């Protein structure tokens, strides 16, 4: 008998869901996926079926509550109408922060919820929105087992040498100020499929570039994380759609002391106005729009992004003693041949030889884009964080 697994990815203004059906020993299959966007403003519910056809597209009436609680109840009621009495037995939640405590998925218990609440100071913008749906679903689906899947867990294998900031040691020990790393569920998915794609890469030294609106990179040795570009928060490392990436801490002091900016203004600048959007002079945070623009600053932003990926690749390769494989994934990594080419051309000295024809192919399948004799094998591998959560939730119960 197959089971239904609900995957929830909740943020401050949206809740994404995927409903999977288990299929014997094979990977769970998607039945429906969708989201409620615009919470607290004008919630809009959209969903697609297994064939990727739109099956829901509605703005919620103005007189209903616009909060997470109502959004989840609406979503579950919509699903219930389509399940013919079948029960959702398992729920997997994406949780952004697991601190140093949680290095694997966890079954939800009162102690776990208390543990997650203790981590709120480390991720105040995200963790509360990840915890709230767990509590709401305890009420809506009292018989379902809930599992939390952490974005930081994959990075707990990093040696301290790569995790710590060079602050006094007690800041890491007592205050938890260290590089946790994020996008872990995406890296775990890539690590789970790499052995079938390239054994040498799976056993050896691989750098994975997760390039989306949020971007990060990780160095894997035998599919275990050794170093990653994101840090204490998801602000460090590569520039992103609107986030600045790594920045000299002295700039922040200057913004405060000289330009008299307060914490809220600096947060807005670093998270919402920087990255591709800021570098392009406000043209766009979206790679497709930058590619379509003739403005010199749009090209500058793309070149800057690629250069930072190149520099981080070399730094990560140094942390694992060389490079056997480079993997591109997420929205830009999977779809943008230009960024991949810009990066690979600048990494020739490291043994990367891109196959231009293979790089130009558009496909949703994993594929090799380096020449047969390239010292470093380069792949495009579509990521699937929702499937990773469904797998982890099932394995945990």
Binding residues: 9, 16, 94, 210-214, 286-288, 331-335, 385
Q: How far is the CB of 9 from ligand ADP (least distance, A)?
A: 10
Alpha-carbon dihedral angle through residues 215, 228, 322, 248, given to the nearest 10 degrees: 80
Whose CB is nearest to ligand ADP?
331
- Residue positions in the annotated binding site for Mg(2+)? 9, 385
For ligand ADP, the binding residues (CB under 6 A) are: 212-214, 241, 286-288, 330-332, 335-336
Q: How far is the CB of 238 from ligand ADP (least distance, A)?
A: 12
- Residue positions in the annotated binding site for ATP? 16, 210-214, 286-288, 331-335
Q: Rounded to an integer, what distance in angstroms lies between the CA atom of residue 234 and that of residue 245?
A: 8
Phi-psi region of 57 (alpha: psi -120 to 50; beta: other; left: phi over 0): beta
Q: Rounded to an integer, what distance in angstroms lies between the CA atom of residue 147 and that of residue 279?
A: 40
Closest to ligand ADP by CB, 329 vs 396, is: 329
Q: Rounded to an integer, what distance in angstroms lies between the CA atom of residue 131 and that of residue 277?
A: 31
Question: Is 248 one of the catalytic residues?
Answer: no
Instruction: Please give the angle made by the CA atoms of 90, 91 and 97, to the nearest 5 degrees.
Output: 140
Closest to ligand ADP by CB, 287 vs 380, is: 287
Q: How far is the CB of 64 from ligand ADP (least distance, A)?
A: 27
Closest to ligand ADP by CB, 49 vs 286, is: 286
Residue 139 host element (H or E): helix 127-140
Closest to ligand ADP by CB, 106 vs 334, is: 334
Q: Is 179 exposed, middle or buried (0-12, 13-18, 19+ CB in 10 A)?
A: buried
Q: How far is the CB of 230 from ligand ADP (least distance, A)?
A: 12
Closest to ligand ADP by CB, 129 vs 205, is: 129
Q: How far is the CB of 241 from ligand ADP (least distance, A)?
A: 6
Write the CB contacts of 349 (distance below 8 Å, at least 6 apart in sequence). none
Q: What would the two tokens of residue 258 be?
A: 């000289």
| Catalytic option among 49, 151, 198, 262 | 151
- Residue positions in the annotated binding site for substrate? 94
Write the CB contacts of 378 (distance below 8 Å, at least 6 apart in sequence). 325, 326, 327, 328, 340, 344, 352, 354, 368, 369, 370
Hey, which residues are catalytic here?
151
């Amino acid at each position: 008998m197959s089971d239904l697994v609900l995957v929830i990815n909740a943020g401050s203004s949206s809740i994404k869901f995927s409903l999977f059906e288990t299929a014997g020993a094979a990977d769970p299959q998607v039945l429906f996926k969708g989201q409620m966007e615009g919470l607290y403003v004008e919630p809009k519910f959209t969903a697609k079926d297994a064939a990727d056809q739109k099956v829901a597209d509605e703005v919620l009436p103005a007189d209903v509550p616009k909060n997470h609680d109502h959004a989840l109840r609406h979503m579950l009621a919509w699903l219930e109408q389509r399940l013919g009495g079948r029960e959702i037995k398992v729920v997997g939640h994406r949780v952004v922060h697991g601190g140093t405590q949680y290095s694997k998925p966890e079954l939800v218990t009162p102690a776990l919820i208390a543990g997650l609440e203790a981590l709120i100071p480390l991720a105040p913008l995200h963790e509360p929105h990840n915890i709230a749906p767990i509590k709401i679903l305890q009420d809506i689906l009292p018989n379902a087992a809930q599992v939390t899947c952490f974005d930081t867990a994959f990075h707990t294998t990093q040696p301290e040498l790569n995790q710590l900031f060079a602050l006094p040691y007690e800041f890491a020990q007592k205050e938890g100020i260290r590089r946790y790393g994020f996008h872990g569920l995406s890296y775990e998915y890539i690590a789970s499929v790499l052995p079938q794609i390239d054994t040498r890469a799976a056993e050896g030294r691989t750098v994975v570039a997760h390039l989306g609106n949020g971007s990060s990179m990780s160095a894997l040795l035998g599919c275990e994380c050794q170093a990653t570009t994101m840090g204490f928060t998801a602000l460090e490392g590569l520039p992103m759609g609107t986030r600045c990436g790594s920045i000299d801490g002295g700039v922040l002091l200057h913004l405060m002391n000289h330009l008299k900016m307060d914490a809220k203004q600096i947060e807005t600048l670093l998270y919402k106005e920087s990255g591709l959007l800021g570098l392009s002079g406000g043209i766009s945070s979206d790679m497709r729009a930058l590619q379509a623009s003739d403005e010199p600053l749009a090209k500058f932003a793309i070149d800057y992004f690629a250069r930072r990926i190149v520099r981080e690749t070399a730094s990560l390769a140094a942390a694992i003693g060389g490079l056997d494989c480079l993997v591109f994934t997420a929205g830009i990594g999977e779809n943008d041949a230009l960024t991949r080419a810009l990066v690979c051309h600048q990494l020739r000295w490291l043994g990367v030889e891109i196959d231009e024809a293979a790089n130009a192919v558009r496909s949703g399948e994993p594929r090799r884009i380096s020449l047969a004799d390239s010292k470093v094998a380069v792949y495009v591998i579509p990521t699937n964080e929702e499937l990773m959560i469904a797998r982890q939730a099932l394995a945990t119960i």
